[in-house]
Chains A and B, each alone.
Chain A
Amino acid sequence: MKEKIKIFLDSDLLEKYLLGTTNQQESLQVERYLAMYPEVRETYNELQDNLEVFAKLHAVKTPEGLKNKIMARIKSENSSRRKFFRYAMAASFAAVMFAGASYFLWNQNQNLQEENVLVNNKIETLKEDMRLELEDVRNQFIVLNNPLTKKYNVKGNKNAKELKAVAYINPVKKLSYINVKKLPHLSKNQSFQMWAEVNGKMINLGIIDESAGQEKLLALPYADNAVSYITIEPKGGNNTPTVENIVAKINY
């Protein structure tokens, strides 16, 4: 072991390390020896002391004003560093703002896209509604203008004498409509409901809206020998007609 230390000290590695001219691998080796062997550490410390003394032997008085120059350089170095930090801060702030704005815009875009889909769906539904409505109006027109259309005047029975309605039936086109002209007043918790018995099946045609106006034509499902009924039902309608409350019957 002693031999190893001697060989190490005889090499100029420690001196090179002292002057900072060792490469990385050599530095690591020297630092390992310094940590492991006190005599190497002692020699190194001695070398450092000697270097300092030797250098001081060659000290030369620095010229006037050099210190001020150096201090000014250090100050400008500092301010440029601070400037750099300021720029860095500004840049990070800008980056954060940009990210925030991007997120905000992206979010807004997402919302607009969703809204767009909603609006498109609405338009589709409206188109479909319009188409149905138009078809209905066309059918009404066909029925009303067709010479083969038969017109039936419907009157209410004793339960609703005031009720007046006109039904239009066209057996060729297999279309039928009813126009309820006048309805007797009902109490608040009652409403008129229309039904049709088609091929032995009772179909709920819905509640007659009193406020819908007199010109409104309601489509009836067509079948040979069908019968329609108007009944008085509790407000909101019923699932099956109440037979004793039938106020009108239309055969067509």
Chain B
Amino acid sequence: MSVLLEKHIVELLQERDEKAISLLYEHYGDTLYGVAKKVVRDEELAQDVLQESFVKIWKKSDSYDATKAKLFTWLFRITRNTAIDKLRSVNTKSDKEIQMDVSDVYNLGVDSIKPEFMDVRENLDKIEDKYQIVLEALFFQGMTQQEASDELGIPLGTIKSRLKIGLRELKKIYGPSMMLALLLNLL
């Protein structure tokens, strides 16, 4: 997202203009829906999560502080936390079970592979699975590094180093020019 557009959206949010939500949905809707889906692993639940997240985004719009986080980081936090809360509320009993359904969580679901994302998927495949698993566990599954270490049976130190390497790999794949291509591809 261009810095200018991001600024424009933030301004609209602060002016409490509904157009901000429309623009956010157009530019981040798919990504946030993907985040929600990754966490709750259910299409209907993910839709609920996205709705609730946007309502929260709208309600909390005056609490967004650009000096503390980029707009996407803020949107991501709200969506992820809403999704985790949703997951806990629908299935408080088998929290662990949901989190650790590895075959479903850590492989890319067939339904999520769509032609427009193919390039991205290919690129994602360039990151070794062991890094991807750690990244997903931390970013999407609501695990702390300690929890990821326990659940995945990987020592904490390894989790830390895999996270760092994984992120570095990600950066290698997506340099600034690649980022643009990626965004164009996604929007």
* Residue B73 is within 8 A (CB to CB) of chain A in the complex: yes
Given A58-B140, A70-B55, 16 further pairs, Cβ under 8 A: A12-B145, A20-B77, A20-B80, A55-B31, A55-B76, A56-B120, A57-B124, A58-B38, A60-B30, A60-B33, A60-B37, A60-B112, A61-B30, A70-B25, A74-B55, A74-B58
| A73 engages B31 (CB within 8 Å) | no
Which residues of A does B touch, CB under 8 Å? 10, 12, 15-16, 18-21, 31, 45-63, 66-67, 69-71, 73-75, 77-78
Complex Cα–Cα for A58 and B135 (A): 12
* Residue B59 is within 8 A (CB to CB) of chain A in the complex: yes
Interface residues of B toward A: which range? 35 or more
Candidate in A56, A63, A66 with the most chain B CB atoms within 10 angstroms = A56
Complex Cα–Cα for A55 and B69 (A): 16
Which residues of B does A touch, CB under 8 Å? 18, 21-22, 25, 29-35, 37-38, 43, 47, 50-51, 54-55, 58-59, 68-70, 72-73, 76-77, 80-81, 112, 114, 116-117, 120-121, 123-124, 135, 138-140, 142, 144-145, 160, 163, 167, 170-171, 174, 179, 182-183, 186
Complex Cα–Cα for A10 and B117 (A): 34
Complex Cα–Cα for A31 and B67 (A): 10
14 pairs, CB–CB < 8 Å, chain A vs chain B: A20-B80, A47-B167, A48-B70, A53-B174, A53-B182, A54-B170, A58-B34, A58-B37, A58-B112, A60-B37, A60-B114, A66-B47, A69-B51, A70-B54
